[in-house]
Structure 1
Amino acid sequence: MLAAMLKRLIPSLIVLAGLAWAPLALAQESTGIPAIPAFTVSPASGEGVQEYSVTLQILALMTALTFLPAMLMMMTSFTRIIVVFAILRQAIGLQSTPSNQILLGLALFLSIFIMKPVLEEANQVGLQPYLQEEVTSIEAVKLASQPFKKFMLEQTREDDLALFMRIADVTYDTPEDVSFWILMPAFVTSELKTAFQIGFILFIPFLVIDMVVASVLMAMGMMMLSPIIISLPFKIMLFVLVDGWALIMGTLAASYGI
């Protein structure tokens, strides 16, 4: 019954919509107000170059924002930093201190500090010319991506890059010609490898403390007492005495040549 009523009402709704739209269109024509081009593509200066309307550019920008977290992990130093921080917390024996929010915020701002030269170069070569209407939006994206590509190439191992080139069955004459789709997974693989290498070095002193405390407790016959409870204050004290946070952050920044 409801379906039958809707079927009878649809033609009436269409007619009412047409009647409501007609005065608006006539008023717009009479006042001379131009219509807003919602989706237009016009040729720009340069062979084979097209410029999109502001509406399409905003749509593309809002769509790109959904990929911002993935871009943050795939194209910056964020991955290496957050993995090292997670391994460090595990090595000390702290399960939730510092909290995930603190580690993420610290990794984010340290990543911005490390990536500042790259961001400034991308702003100069890509964003500023676009704001001054010297290049189109597509050209601005290509120009702004070059500093990130250079940064990623400097931090990517040749073995990892060759691995994904072999998987994709492609070859390039120079590393600068490598596609982003090949460079991104190779860069992340190299970042994970470096992060685990740093994490291994971090684990050694804390592991030594755990072994010493476990040996002392066993020699004293205190089998039922957990060595982790006893070793945790000593590991925290060691980390504070060597100024661990400054040492870790300085090491991470130095690993990128800063």
Structure 2
Amino acid sequence: MGRLRVIIALLLALAVFAGAPAAAQEIAPQPDALGAAAEAAVADGGLTRRIVQMFLLVTVLSLAPGIAMMVTCLPFMLIVLSILRQGVGLQQAPPNMLIVSVALFLTYFVMEPVFKDAWAAGVSPLLNGEITEQAAFTEMMQPFRIFMEARVDPGAVDILEDARPLETAPDPDGMTPLSLLVPAFVLSEIQRAFEIGFIVLLPFLVIDLLVASILMAMGMMMVPPAVVSLPFKVAFFVLTNGWVAVSGALVRGYS
């Protein structure tokens, strides 16, 4: 009985070892198939290049809000519209989401030509495999450079350049480096937004002063002037079509 078990075990072992090469031969891919797959991968542009492009795309999308704040007119629009709402005296009307939405669409209206030029110069050739990522970034930033240099305050550039003279040397092509141009542009936009905000607040300040003077003359010193002047400011703003007038003036400032 013991010998029979040994013989059966040997026969099973031989069957396994005899079938292993055949199975391996069937599973193992042919060299021609591997070569064809490699050629197909190379012809398709390479897997590594696609992964790098996808990584860059995800990075840009995650940084899109910050980029929009730094190289577009979005900060200018947001600040002016927020000051305008404060001047009217309405704290939550329109709400913050609506203010941001209006500022975004006004920014897109102003920046649409720049976006188109950046896409045609850098993004489209990169997707077609005509230029490298570094060249695409340079070409894509060129329209934004032109836009920012047309709006930047030379005084802000000089102050920042004096702060770090060694690390903000001009580029070989003579243009201002981005590390200097971008912060100078943002500071210039904030300064210009507060200047426009001061002009926007003046009519509402006149209404507040008139209402306060009338209340003092009537002896109603306990009545808050802001409560009485609010309907007059809203009526004045509605009659002058204030939102459309201010938005049109902001857009025309970039033409």
Pair in the same fold by TM > 0.5:
yes
Go from structure 1 to structure 2 and tell me whether the alpha carbon gap of 1:28 and 1:96 turns closer, same or farther (over 3 Å shift). farther
Aligned to 1:161: 157
Question: Gaps (5+ residues) in structure 2?
Answer: 1-25
Report runs of 4+ in structure 1 exceeding 4 Å deviation: 26-31, 33-37, 173-176
Residues 153 and 175, structure 1, Cα contact 8 Å, conserved in 2: no
- Partner of 1:199 in structure 2? 197
Which residues in structure 2 correspond to 1:152-191 (within 5 Å)? 152-169=148-165, 170-172=168-170, 177-191=175-189
- Give 1:60 shift: 2.3
CA distance in 1, matches of 2:178, 2:241: 39
SS in 2 for 1:94: coil
Contact 2:71 2:144 in 1 (8 A): yes
1:67 is aligned to 2:63: yes
Preserved contact between residue 80 and residue 194 of structure 1 (Cα < 8 Å): yes
The more displaced of 192-201 and 213-222 is 213-222
Structure possessing the higher radius of gyration over alpha carbons = 2
Q: CA RMSD in A?
A: 2.7
In 2, Cα distance between the equivalents of 1:82 and 1:143? 28
Query: How many aligned positions are there?
Result: 222
- For residue 118 of structure 1, what is the amino acid of its counterpart? V
Q: CA–CA distance in 1 between the matches of 2:201 and 2:28?
A: 71
Find the partner of 1:129 among 121, 125, 130. 125
**Structure 1 residues 100 and 28: CA distance shift in structure 2, 3 A:** farther
Q: Distance in 2 between matches of 1:133 and 1:80?
A: 36
- How far did residue 64 of structure 1 move? 2.4
Structure 1, unmatched stretches of 5+, are 1-25, 43-50
Instruction: Return the alpha-carbon distance in structure 2 between the equivalents of residues 215 and 242 of structure 1.
Output: 24
Letter in 2 for 1:82: L
Equivalent-residue separation in structure 2 for 1:138 and 1:28 (angstroms): 42
Aligned to 2:135: 139
Instruction: Give 2:146's aligned residue.
Output: 150
Cα shift at 1:128: 2.3
1:22-79 deviations in whole A, cap 9, x for unaligned? xxxx968556355999xxxx9xxxxxxxx96211221222122222111000000100
Higher relative contact order (CA 8 A, sep 6+): 2
Return the structure number with greater helix share.
2
- Taking a change above 3 Å as real, the CA distance of residues 133 and 60 of structure 1, as seen in their structure-2 partners, is closer
Work out the CA distance in 2 between the residues paired with 1:53 and 1:63. Answer: 15
- Summarize the Cα distance change of 1:154–1:207 in structure 2 as closer, same or farther, 3 Å threshold: same
Match of 2:232 among 231, 234, 237: 234
Aligned to 1:229, the other structure's residue is in SS state helix
| Paired letter, 1:132 | N
Distance verdict in 2 for CA 1:200–1:116, change over 3 Å: same
Percentage of identical aligned residues: 38
Offset of 1:132 from its aligned partner?
3.0
Aligned to 1:109: 105
